[in-house]
Amino acid sequence: MILTDTHTHLYSEAFDEDRDEVIKKAIELGVERFFIPAIDSTYTKAMFELEKAYPENIFLMIGLHPTHVKENYKDELQHVEKLLNDRRFYALGEIGIDLYWDKTFFKEQQEAFRFQIRLAKKHKLPIVIHCRESFDEIFEILEIEKGEGLFGIFHCFTGSLEQARKAISYNLKLGIGGVATFKNGKIDTFLNEIELEHIVLETDSPYLSPVPYRGKRNESAYLVKVLEKLSEIYGLEEKEIADITTKNSKDLFGI
């Protein structure tokens, strides 16, 4: 059984003390594929070092995270564009709109999101969307950009059944992680109405730990807890869910 963590920040400072142990522990539990989203240029070196250390397991994305869209966002976007021309990445991510932390650069977030969607189309890559208190704003841009060449993952999906179906209509898979295990997470109440072909698994580690680790540092090994929950929700064997969701990730990322 091979599991794929489609979203994990393994280069984060949260893992500086035990990164190798965290990765090895996950691999021992069957989590053999790790897709690494970008935040901004300050993390690029750490991402490359991680890839070099685990070339068979680590697959990098490139992009500018919406919470890091600041005064210098155009320089950051140039960094993203240059790297895309220099080497291989597996997605543009994570990109999107975040209106939870700060709305100061909302217009710039919109511009950066659209710019990176178009970069993804140009390079025939999936997008990995970060959405926080911004479903309407993100759907507005996806409506403009929809069609051939637009595909990817709606990362850390926390919306309603209606919003799930709308995301899927834009050729996006739903990234399901620890929230599915929360008592107030809500997505567990309707997830079985979404076919598994539209689902990929993720941790978003070191954030959003699943029950029973909620409140503690998340790590890729805890993806097995998400798998257990989906097995319960769908009434299917864990191996079947692992097989389907890993196939979905391979179809999406091309590896």
pLDDT in tens, 10-63: 999 999 999 999 999 999 999 999 999 999 999 999 999 999 999 999 999 999
Domains of the chain: 3-253 (3.20.20.140)
Integer Rg of the chain from CA: 17
Strand partners, 175: 200
What does residue 179 show for φ and ψ, rounded to 5 degrees? -60, -30
pLDDT tens per residue across span 130-143 = 999 999 999 999 99
What H or E segment, with its residue span, contains residue 25? helix 19-28
Strand duo 172-176 + 199-201: pairing = parallel
Distance of CA 27 to the CA centre of its chain: 19
